[in-house]
Structure 1
């Protein structure tokens, strides 16, 4: 149903770098819920051309943008958002498998709540079959959003399952962000418009088969990029002060995350068993922050592929 503004109710943007191994499962679950005139799906991807061609043939209703060279996740998402025609623009990872009612839950949440940014819950796909490395990655990245989660205002939302009212991402017909950096976009929304909102009825299942070493390296790059962007206009005094605080961050993150995850009364044994690995991931991020505060971003922002 086209809205009174002539726009679709919902656009779904998926950015993917060499994720063809999981993208098919993501799209199969998503496109089964898409009705013409209600939602569109936009995939901006870098992948081998033969793999891309097979996916395009399998999902002809999807709008595909193929890049010959790898690009940062922020760049891919920015490209996809610029093409979106929806009143609500949802962002999924290719590693997210949507629950059966996901699309309707997104629409319902934005109709019900005035908040510009709404995120959902993230459970682990095939949880009983996952090894401890996979559990460590999941709990580190999305443990805060593991069900049960309360419906209400939130300080942080999952980047793999998040949606925006159009005004948050566009100024009229012009995209606000050529590159989409979730944290900084959300901070801007909070500062000027509304709190972030978490709705547990918007559920995805994470299927992210990334080698632990690769993910660890990405945490280093992500921490450095974040710190450099955060203090881009700051003086050396602030950057030095933030840099000196980074050795405390792994312990602070583990305490904050652990306190909230423990209250869920789910998978406590796995949380305890993976605690050293989670600490290592937080330490990599913190080391990246130190580099970002003292040396700037370097090539880190361009190396964030997932």
Structure 2
């Protein structure tokens, strides 16, 4: 297989793994407290990333002050994203939430143009506007189907956008595994503080199975995502992030009996179409070349 084919398969695997993680978390959220779930999941993630950090030899990497500030900003944004996303996940259909999250390429492109002065042409601005219209079709503010949890979903998108912008500004030499580890530690600290004031619920074997599945899915998703971005061209591989929506539709129907209505499906289609167009335009703007990320 070509590197792009390998990257596409790995990215699709990553998105499927993250959707499976969301399914397990949503199942646990029916009877377990938020901070209990977040703390236990964070413990497993930090333990894995810590081992990976030592294996890769990046455990003693020394950060520049500017990079530390960016990692701090990224960590705060990750905490906000985790809190908002999981609260939305507990109450919104899986496919609806996943569709809203698919607006991320649009929000990151817009924010990069506004705050990092990255060039964005009028075609991409139009596509971003159409994509946001798709988000509004799903959220539907002012209607009976609108709720606070839709706001949580939008807040999660905003936090992840800040997180990704902070990552863009990091020095090229900063190890990705180290950044992920520090960010996970920040989420763990937040979860531990919240868990102190939470009445824990005893977990039955089924809950432990779901928790193990959640942690395992996150680990697979993280590894597959990193491998995908390093195997193929970013402009090609990134398009397969949208496979998460297909997996979420299937899991939402099979596990929870949810299926989006026609308006939501139309909104999701707009988001995916404009996102793909934005990625294509970014690839055209970069011109020919492998466009791969650094190996750090």
Question: Which TM-score applies when normalising by structure 1?
Answer: 0.25
Determine which structure has greater relative contact order: mean sequence separation of CA pairs < 8 Å that are 6+ residues apart, divided by chain length.
Answer: 2
Higher strand content, 1 or 2:
1
TM-score (norm 2): 0.26
More helix by share: 2
